[in-house]
């Protein structure tokens, strides 16, 4: 028995996990935006969809861009189709995944660098995967989670961001990098790269980069006072060593409110 399209499982697990907070350490803003941040969005690729939502609170700060303690909660649910080949005959199956995080962290600003560090508890549940995974990624798992978000302003018109996360729940890891150019005060555009993997793909921690879902695309962000809309799209592929397969377009949308 051989798994023909495993990228759907990883795509849903951590989209994103980063997969899904606003996925960046935000640039400075005015106090009028308040100390609460709520976001919701969706992600899709071939045979895959995911919906997610979350909230970050800065209860001891004047607003969400002030340095200080943060409380974050987020959750998501998605479904996907995957193919199993047994004796050379492909059979289609449907799987689903749900996740939730409860995190506490701290927000720093040093010059043009903004950094957020979170730690807490994550839970991830995979269903309808027994035949595909031999039980390696099946059912609900709980585990500690760490999350890092970095944002660096490069002059007044450019920025770069890097986000990293890992949880022992199904050994799930993700990373995303962006480089943005501000076309005006409200509109930004630039490239993005993303990495996702979990226990479905690698058997030990020293092989975490041997098999993963990779993404390369462009993002576009537009901001109003207290509202931010971000869309992204590009190409995703299952990467095993130096080989790629299961190439698919992807698209995401995220809406964030500050109040």
Average pLDDT, the chain: 85
Provide the pLDDT for residue 31: 46
Residue 54, CB-side half-sphere exposure with 13 Å CA sphere: 27
pLDDT at residue 189 is higher than 50: yes
What are 218-248's pLDDT values in tens digits? 999 999 989 999 999 999 998 887 667 789 9
Provide the pLDDT for residue 33: 72
Range with the lowest mean pLDDT among 2-11, 120-129, 134-143, 163-172? 2-11
Provide the pLDDT for residue 8: 52
Comparing 250 with 11, which gets the higher pLDDT? 250
pLDDT at residue 143 is higher than 90: yes
What are 192-207's pLDDT values in tens digits? 999 998 877 776 777 7
Q: How do 211-224 and 89-110 pair as beta strands? A: unpaired
Provide the pLDDT for residue 131: 56
Percent of the chain with pLDDT over 90: 61
Supply 217's token pair: 């695309």
pLDDT at residue 168 is higher than 90: yes
Provide the pLDDT for residue 1: 41
Provide the pLDDT for residue 4: 45
Provide the pLDDT for residue 127: 84
pTM: 0.83
Question: DSSP readout, 163-213?
Answer: EEEEETGGGEEEEEEEEEEESSSSEEEEEEEEEEE-TTT-SSGGGTTTEEE
Backbone angles phi, psi at 245, to 5 degrees: -155, -175
Q: How far apart are CA 259 and CA 154, in angstroms?
A: 27
pLDDT at residue 256 is higher than 60: yes
Q: What domains are there in the chain, each with its CATH number?
A: 2-258 (2.40.160.40)
Provide the pLDDT for residue 122: 98
Q: How far apart are CA 120 and CA 167, in angstroms?
A: 9
Pick from 19, 137, 25, 140: nearest CA to 82: 137
């Amino acid at each position: 028995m051989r798994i023909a399209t495993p990228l759907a499982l990883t795509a849903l697990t951590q989209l994103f996990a980063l997969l899904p907070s606003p996925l960046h350490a935000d640039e400075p803003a005015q106090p009028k935006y308040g100390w609460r941040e709520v976001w919701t969005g969706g992600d899709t690729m071939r045979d895959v969809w995911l919906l997610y939502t979350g909230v970050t609170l800065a209860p001891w700060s004047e607003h969400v861009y002030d340095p200080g303690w943060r409380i974050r909660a987020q959750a998501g649910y998605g479904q996907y189709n995957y193919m199993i080949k047994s004796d050379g005959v492909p059979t289609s199956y449907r799987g689903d995944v749900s996740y939730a995080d409860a995190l506490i962290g701290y927000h720093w600003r040093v010059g043009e660098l903004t950094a957020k560090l979170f730690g807490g508890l994550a839970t991830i549940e995979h269903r309808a995967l027994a035949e595909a995974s031999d039980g390696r990624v099946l059912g609900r798992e709980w585990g500690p989670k760490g999350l890092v978000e970095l944002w660096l302003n490069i002059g007044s018109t450019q920025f770069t961001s890097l986000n990293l996360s890992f949880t022992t729940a199904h050994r799930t890891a993700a990373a995303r990098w962006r480089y943005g150019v501000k076309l005006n005060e409200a509109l930004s555009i630039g490239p993005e790269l993303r990495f996702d993997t979990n226990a479905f793909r690698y058997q030990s921690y020293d092989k975490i980069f041997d098999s993963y879902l990779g993404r390369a695309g462009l993002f576009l962000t537009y901001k109003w006072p207290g509202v931010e809309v971000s869309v992204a799209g590009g190409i995703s592929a299952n990467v095993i060593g130096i080989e790629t397969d299961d190439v698919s377009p992807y698209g995401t949308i995220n809406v964030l409110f500050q109040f």
